[in-house]
């Protein structure tokens, strides 16, 4: 699955979310479970919900109890996002597992799925910056600044998209090899977070 297909699915997810535009809206994934399309849609949906979590928690008047509950949701969402990235990497590892890599094959700084993660977030940035450009209640200076930012985001998307496709071609030809380091997040692990394991001991 190359960048254009990923972006199309991400944009569909973003559009579907904004029909109701509520963080509690249940996902209605249109793709068959077990497919990479299903996984990509889920990845962006989680990103989209978290995007709006991050907006809500920045309300200076948020109730402290509600804010703490939301912080825990954000932590859980971050872990879910990481888990999904690793599942997407598994897809690409399986896709290129039979490719014979060259002896001098290079390793990329990012795994394929972390590039996918960046593409997903870029789609969200573009969508919400377009919202700002379309605002009727904003002044001309704000609109101009947002138009300039939107142009940069679209250029960034095009560059990242092309780079991702080139990376996949390099994997296919054996010019580069996939090497994945799993995320070893410590703060969610009761055995590694000292606040958690010391409390458990007591």
* In a domain? residue 196: no
* In a domain? residue 194: no
**Number of domains observed in the structure of the chain:** 1
* Six token digits for residue 15: 């559009």
* In a domain? residue 67: yes
Overall average pLDDT of the 90-104 stretch: 95
* In a domain? residue 183: yes
Residue partners of 58: CB distance under 8 A and separation at least 6: none
**Each residue's pLDDT tens digit, 17-28:** 999 999 999 999
Overall average pLDDT of the 39-57 stretch: 98
* In a domain? residue 198: no
Q: Alpha carbon of 137 to those of 48, 58, 68, 84: distances in Å?
A: 24, 21, 32, 38
Q: Which residues pair with 107 in a beta bridge?
A: 177
Structure-model confidence comparison of residues 182 and 4, the more confident one: 4
**Each residue's pLDDT tens digit, 49-91:** 999 999 999 999 999 999 999 999 999 999 999 999 999 999 9
Domain range for 174: 3-188
pLDDT at residue 202 greater than cutoff 70: no
pLDDT value, residue 182: 81
What's CA 87's distance to the chain center, in Å? 13
% of the chain at pLDDT higher than 70? 100
* In a domain? residue 202: no
pLDDT value, residue 18: 98
* Spatial distance between the Cα atoms of 192 and 197, rounded to a whole number of angstroms: 7
pTM for this model (two decimals): 0.92
CB-CB neighbours of 144 under 10 Å: 12
Contact yes or no for 120/86 (Cβ under 8 A): no
Residue partners of 38: CB distance under 8 A and separation at least 6: 29, 31, 32
**Each residue's pLDDT tens digit, 125-161:** 999 999 999 999 999 999 999 999 999 999 999 999 9
* In a domain? residue 197: no
Secondary structure letter of residue 25 according to DSSP: P
Secondary structure letter of residue 188 according to DSSP: T
* In a domain? residue 22: yes
């Amino acid at each position: 699955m190359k960048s254009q297909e990923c972006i199309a699915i991400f944009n569909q997810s973003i559009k579907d979310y904004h029909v109701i535009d509520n963080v509690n809206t249940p996902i209605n994934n249109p793709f068959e479970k077990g497919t990479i399309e299903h996984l990509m849609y889920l990845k962006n949906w989680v990103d989209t919900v978290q995007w709006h979590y991050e907006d809500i928690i920045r309300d200076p008047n948020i109730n402290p109890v509600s804010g703490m509950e939301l912080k825990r949701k954000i932590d859980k969402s971050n872990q879910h996002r990481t888990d999904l990235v690793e599942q997407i990497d598994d897809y690409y590892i399986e896709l290129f597992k039979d490719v014979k890599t060259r002896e001098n094959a290079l390793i990329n700084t990012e795994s394929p799925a972390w590039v996918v993660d960046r593409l997903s977030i870029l789609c969200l940035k573009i969508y919400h910056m377009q919202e700002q450009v379309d605002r009727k209640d904003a002044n001309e200076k704000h609109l101009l600044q947002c138009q300039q930012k939107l142009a940069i985001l679209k250029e960034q998307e095009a560059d990242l998209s092309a780079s991702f496709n080139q990376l996949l071609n390099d994997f296919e030809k054996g010019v580069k090899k996939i090497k994945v380091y799993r995320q070893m997040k410590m703060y969610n692990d009761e055995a590694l977070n000292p606040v958690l394991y010391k409390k458990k001991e007591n």
